[in-house]
Chains A and B, each alone.
Chain A
Amino acid sequence: MSKIKAENVNVYYGSKQALFDVSIDIAEKEVTALIGPSGCGKSTFLRCLNRMNDVIEICRVEGSIKMDNLELNSRKLDVVRLRENVGMVFQKPNPFPKTIYENVAYGPTIHGIAQSKEEMDQIVETSLKKAALWNEVKDRLDEIGTGLSGGQQQRLCIARAISVSPEVILMDEPCSALDPIATAQIEELIDDLKKEVTIVIVTHSMSQAARVSQKTGFFHLGKLIEFGPTDKIFKNPDNQQTQDYITGRFG
């Protein structure tokens, strides 16, 4: 079942076009990986899905992106509601310089989700458990989040993202700043999360895409070259460019 349906998305940074007629169907409760060489537009596309491109002054998005039949690329859209539903995890772990508890409670607080202190405690605990961080930090929730290790920080950011129970989580190269052990933990986490949420992950690591995703899209020079089941993309791609990239001949 399709969760997000993008049609003919074009993105411009000033006069420079970054995405060309991208159309893609993202299925519900699956992991969709976006791969491609640097600067190919995969992160730009990801940021269209929760309107993060609004933050960039010169950025302009054209085309239609529908989530459950709601047009995302519309002036009338309530961006705050959208982002409550579509969480995001960034390349570099970016916990706020606040305590671990406050980091996780940030989303529920601004969206007024918890009615009482007990409820908030419950949300924080569940989110940290889902992010597989609870056991490591349960005794030091009032320590500063930036004091954790890189892998823990990234899992804290995932806990922060899932604290408002989003339907979709976008991940922009979430493991590129982490060591192999932390990467394995995050990948395991992604596998668990996909039972409940739809995940779109941008990654540089093709083996990661192969490991965690069900569908893979290959971007090159702002165009979606090929999109299909991960198995097919990696074993038997239709397109020569995809074949070349997967086998490491360029990129």
Chain B
Amino acid sequence: MNLILVTFIILLAFTSYYFGRKKALVIQSSQRLTALPKFYGYYLAAWCAAPALIIFALWSVFEPSIVKTFILQDYTDQNLTKNELQLIYTKVKALAAGTYTGNITNFLDESANKYIQLKGIANSAKVAIILAILILSLSFAYRSVQKNDRMREPVEIFLKWVLFVASLGAVLVTIGIVFSLLFEAIRFFQAVKIFDFIFGTHWYPAKTFVRDGQPDPELMKDAFGAVPLFAGTFFIAFIAMCVAIPIGLLSGIYLSEYAGRGVRKYAKPIIEILAGIPTVVYGFFAALTVGPFVKEIGNAMGLEVSAESALAAGAVMGVMIIPFISSLSDDVITAVPQNLRDGSYAMGATKSETVKKVIFPAALPGIVGSILLAVSRAVGETMIVVMASGLAANLTMNPLESTSTITAQIVVILIGDQQFGDPKTQSAFALGISLFIVTLFLNVIALSVVKKYREKYE
């Protein structure tokens, strides 16, 4: 029903576009148009579609809750709690749909009938109202077209609002996500002290699990210390950057300054393919190839190496990040004006002197920006760590041992069955928001550095 209605509105809008344009051509024969003919079409189409679709959307949002209020009115005198009322309403709906399998009481049956009836009324009312609005708005718009009113401004204003609503939607979704993270995190911090979370050195949420009952507050104190996770996150990101920065930067310099056009044409896309490999593929590459390899070499040298080591995860993560740094630094180096190079060459500087003394310093802010973006990518990376560095949150600085990161622990917490309202589940939100704050911070710095760089040359 809804689908038919929406399709009808959209088809009508298209038709009115062509109708409006045609009407404009008719008007043109007797008087000067106020805008191009297509604006007459847009005007009619916008008036046709926008009010009807807005009403349709509002109706769809409010109809269920209004119907629910009507149904539950019959139950107000029974002193039921909110949850019980919700249960009754769910039963009524199921009964109406014919999928209810429990005991059917008379009362419930009556409600279900009422529900079906209400739904029917609502549906017909919706169709009637929308048709009425279509007729009203279209006739209003048609009158202005006939009077040859100014067409361009209303259409431009309409477009401005469409764009505004789209960006508003994006902003609201972002705010919504941040707030849902925040609220859950706050609930977590009601159970666990924020001090214990930030400074605790022991992460073992599984031990707070207690069958039927509240976990012991003393246990809680020692189970949610995030220090090992932060340490592991930054440690693995550090290993990754040790791999990615030299290789990425040097290859970026090679591509932008030394490579001939032929080499560049093929080498750059090939490096960028690295960025297109799914992280899960890197993950099992790290777990099945690099991890055992590191272990073997370490054992050969007489070192104790865990099969899941921070080194393997970090190194593979570094490989994944290479294209970020090489591609971005290639771009910023290429953006250094040619006349600076000419100036340096004309002084008799060699290529490497020019790169070292003029181009690199000039491109440095952009390069720093690209490195910070790469770090925030490394901090947020999940799959490689889950697969290659293990899930035990050891507080260690030994790259040959396994360690865990914030993202990997969020995965551990949220796979399988969880209880909502359990501190263990809520801790994922606390971890999520701390990760969010860290990457946000890095991104803000990176962007402001890059911006400063742009101002310098413009």
Q: Write the residues of chain A forming the contact surface with B, with a CB cutoff of 8 angstroms.
A: 50, 52, 55, 57, 79-84, 87-88, 90, 92, 94-98, 106-107, 110-111, 146, 157, 160-161, 164
Can you name the residue of chain B whose Cβ is closest to the Cβ of A89?
B346
Query: 13 extra interchain contacts, Cβ-Cβ under 8 A, other than A52-B342, A164-B348?
Result: A79-B348, A80-B349, A80-B350, A82-B348, A83-B345, A83-B348, A88-B342, A95-B343, A96-B344, A97-B361, A111-B348, A157-B343, A160-B343
Query: By the criterion CB–CB under 8 Å, are B261 and A96 in contact?
Result: no
Number of interface residues of B (CB under 8 A): 21
B346 A146 Cβ-Cβ under 8 A? no
Expressed in whole angstroms, the minimum distance between the Cβ of A104 and any Cβ of chain B is 11
| Minimum CB distance partner of A81 in chain B | B348
| Interfacial residues of chain B within 280-300, with CB under 8 A of chain A in the complex | none
Q: How far is the CB of A186 from chain B (nearest CB, A)?
A: 17
Bound complex: CA A146 to CA B345 (Å):
19
CA of A97 to CA of B335, assembled, Å? 14
Q: Tell me which of A55, A110, A160 contacts B353 (CB under 8 A).
A: A110
A87 pairs with B347, CB closer than 8 A: yes
What is the 8 Å Cβ interface bit string for chain B, positions 319-356, against chain A (1 contact, 0 not)? 00000000000000000010111111111111001000
B343 touches A80 (CB 8 A): no
Tell whether, in the assembled complex, residue B260 and residue A57 are in contact, meaning their CB atoms are under 8 Å apart: yes
B353 touches A50 (CB 8 A): no
* B118 at interface by CB-CB < 8 Å: no
**B353-A98 in contact (CB<8A):** no
Q: Determine the chain B residues whose CB is within 8 A of the CB of A146 once the complex forms.
A: 456
Select from chain B the residue with minimum beta-carbon distance to A111: B348
Smallest CB separation, B342 vs chain A (Å)? 6
- Knowing A57-B261, A96-B362, A110-B353 touch, does A90 contact B343 (C-beta < 8 A)? yes
- Contact A96/B343 with A106-B357, A146-B456 known, Cβ cut-off 8 Å: yes
Q: Which residues of A contact B358 (CB under 8 A)?
A: 96
**Distance between Cα atoms of A161 and B346 in the complex (Å):** 8
Query: Which of B260, B344, B345, B346 has the most chain A CB within a 10 Å cutoff?
Result: B346
Q: Which residues from A are CB-within-8-Å of B350? A: 80, 110
Q: Please provide the chain B residues from 343 to 382 with a CB less than 8 Å away from any CB of chain A in the complex.
A: 343-350, 353, 357-358, 361-362
A88 to B339, CA, bound (A): 12
Given contacts A96-B340, A98-B361, contact A110 B349 (CB under 8 A): yes
Could you list 20 A-B pairs, sorted by A, with CB under 8 Å? A50-B346, A55-B345, A57-B261, A83-B348, A84-B348, A88-B346, A90-B339, A90-B342, A92-B339, A94-B339, A94-B342, A95-B343, A96-B344, A96-B358, A98-B361, A110-B347, A110-B350, A110-B353, A111-B348, A157-B343
Q: Which residues of B contact A (CB under 8 A)?
A: 260-261, 337, 339-350, 353, 357-358, 361-362, 456
| A79–chain B nearest beta-carbon distance, Å | 8
Q: Does the CB pair A107–B347 fall under 8 Å?
A: yes
In whole angstroms, how far apart are the Cα atoms of A191 and B357 in the complex?
32
**What's the dominant secondary structure at chain B's contact region?**
helix
In the complex, which residues of chain B have a beta carbon less than 8 angstroms from the beta carbon of A98? 361
Query: Smallest distance from the beta carbon of B75 to chain A beta carbons, Å?
Result: 75
Task: For the complex formed, measure the closest distance between the CB of A110 and the CB atoms of chain B, giving whole angstroms.
Answer: 5
Bound-state Cα–Cα, A50 to B339, Å: 15
User: Which residues of chain A are within 8 angstroms of B342 by Cβ–Cβ distance?
Assistant: 52, 55, 88, 90, 94
Q: Which single residue of chain B is at the shortest CB-CB distance from A103?
A: B343
Option from A83, A95, A111 in Cβ contact (under 8 Å) with B346: A83
CA distance A87 to B347 in the complex (A): 6
Residues in B whose Cβ lies below 8 Å from that of A111: 348
Is the beta-carbon distance between A80 and B348 smaller than 8 angstroms? yes
Residues of chain A within 8 A (CB-CB) of B353 are: 110
Q: Cβ of A90: which chain B residues have Cβ within 8 Å of it? A: 339, 342-343, 346
Q: Which of B337, B346, B349, B362 contacts A52 (CB 8 A)?
A: B346
Q: How far is the CB of A179 from chain B (nearest CB, A)?
A: 20
Q: How far is the CA of A183 from the CA of B381 in the complex (A)?
A: 57
Chain B residue with Cβ nearest A95: B343
Residues of A within 8 Å of B348, CB to CB, are 79-84, 107, 110-111, 164
A50 neighbours in B (Cβ, 8 Å): 346
B150 to chain A, nearest CB (A): 46
Across the interface, which residues of B come within 8 angstroms of A81, CB to CB? 348
Docked pose: A7 CA to B147 CA in angstroms: 79
Separation in Å of the A49 CB from the closest CB of chain B? Answer: 11
- Complex CA distance for A111 and B339, rounded to whole angstroms: 21
Contacts of B346 in A (CB 8 A): 50, 52, 83, 87-88, 90, 161
Task: Select from chain A the residue with minimum beta-carbon distance to B260.
Answer: A57
Name the contact of A94 in the complex, choosing from B260, B343, B361, B456 (C-beta under 8 A).
Answer: B343
Q: In this complex, what residue of A is CB-closest to B353?
A: A110
Compute how far the CA of A160 lies from the CA of B337 in the bound complex, rounded to whole angstroms.
18
* Cα of A90 to Cα of B342 in the assembled complex, Å: 9
Q: How many Å lie between the Cα of A241 and that of B295 in the bound state?
A: 80
Instruction: Tell me, in angstroms, the Cα distance from A80 to B354 when the chains sit together.
Output: 12
Could you tell me the distance in whole angstroms from the C-beta of B357 to the nearest C-beta in chain A? 7
Contacts of A92 in B (CB 8 A): 339
Query: Whole-angstrom distance between the alpha carbons of A52 and B261 in the complex?
Result: 19
Residue among B260, B337, B340, B341 making CB contact with A55, cutoff 8 Å: B341
In the complex, the answer to whether A164 meets B347 with C-beta atoms within 8 Å is yes
Assembled-state Cα–Cα distance A104/B241 (Å)? 36
What A residues does B343 contact at CB under 8 A? Answer: 90, 94-96, 157, 160
What 6 A-B pairs come out closest when comparing CB atoms?
A83-B348, A88-B346, A94-B339, A94-B343, A84-B348, A107-B347
Given contacts A97-B361, A97-B362, A110-B353, contact A160 B345 (CB under 8 A): no
Quick one: closest B residue to A160, CB to CB?
A: B347
The CB with the most chain B CB atoms within 10 A, among A88, A92, A110, is that of A110
A93 closest partner in B (C-beta): B339
A48 to chain B, nearest CB (A): 13
Q: How far is the CB of B264 from chain A (nearest CB, A)?
A: 11
Q: How far apart are the CA atoms of A88 and B357 in the complex, in Å?
A: 19
The complex places the Cα of A84 from the Cα of B361 at a distance, in Å, of 23
Least distance between B335 CB and chain A CB atoms (Å): 13
